[in-house]
Amino acid sequence: MIVSELANPSITDAEFARFQALIHKLAGISLSDAKKVLLAGRLAKRLKANGIGSFSEYYKLVTGSGGTAESQAMVDLLTTNETYFFREEKHFEYLSQQVLARHPPGRGFDIWSAACSTGEEVYTLAMVLAEKLGLHASWTITGSDISTQVLEKAERAQYPMERARATPVDYLRKYCLKGVREDAGSFLIGQALRRHVRFMQVNLNATLPGVGSFDVIFLRNVMIYFDPETKRGVVGRLIGRLRPGGHFIVGHSESLHGVTDALELVKPAVYRKP
């Protein structure tokens, strides 16, 4: 969830410790000491934008009574996640060949991409469901993230072609529009998929809003940034929104071992609610 490092403006260890505690409180993210350079480089943009000369002054701004908008800007900068279509494709194969293949015809189907970033996972899921259930069936995909910045990109649904490097060509032809002239080198997700999709801001480290209940929840490649206590809290809240018999899918490098005993392991990274 934290990306490439930038040049480091002057930040003291004490200042960095304050921001470590703050981002953990706001988003549940545990920043290691090795991320000091990254945090300073990222937040230097906001110091400059606000005409602030020190990280201590900036901390006062984001924690003050009028700092809500600025604290969101800070979270946006520190929680960006680069992703692409059909990332860890085995999960989508399992969804299609096992979960959807057994789903009763005519019954609705709902998926939550709980840390969707810029939306590639959401629209990948939409392609899979369109292929298996059809565009006119009753299915929905909810994409959520703590960052308003990435959600705006997800709602625009326009991506550079390199993000589609793992996407079947026939899916691109069926469900996407190729950019021309000033949009050359990009593609737009078609309206037939987008009408099944909704995006909303959700902080997984807080009480969940009314997102609904789901047959499948994807929470991939985000728990690696949480400490054990935060993992247990986040997963516990999400399990409450998973229907009986529903599947919970995490990243290939992640596991729920020691996090919850409310789910059964189906295969590595794939769990099921009894």
Active site residues: 42, 145
With CA atoms as reference, report the closest residue to 160 among 90, 82, 93: 82
Question: For residue 197, what is the enclosing H or E element?
Answer: strand 197-201
In this structure, are residues 45 and 74 in contact, taking their beta carbons and an 8 Å threshold? no
Q: Can you tell me the distance from the alpha carbon of 117 to that of 99, in angstroms, rounded to the nearest whole number?
A: 24
In this structure, are residues 28 and 234 in contact, taking their beta carbons and an 8 Å threshold? yes
In this structure, are residues 2 and 221 in contact, taking their beta carbons and an 8 Å threshold? no
Neighbours of 20 (CB within 10 A): 18
Structure tokens at 164: 């589609």
Amino acid at site 131? E
In the block, tokens 């999400």 appear at: 238
Structure tokens at 30: 């545990």
Q: Can you tell me the distance from the alpha carbon of 121 to that of 127, in angstroms, rounded to the nearest whole number?
A: 10
In this structure, are residues 198 and 143 in contact, taking their beta carbons and an 8 Å threshold? yes
Q: Can you tell me the distance from the alpha carbon of 273 to that of 217, in angstroms, rounded to the nearest whole number?
A: 11
Q: Can you tell me the distance from the alpha carbon of 20 to that of 101, in angstroms, rounded to the nearest whole number?
A: 45
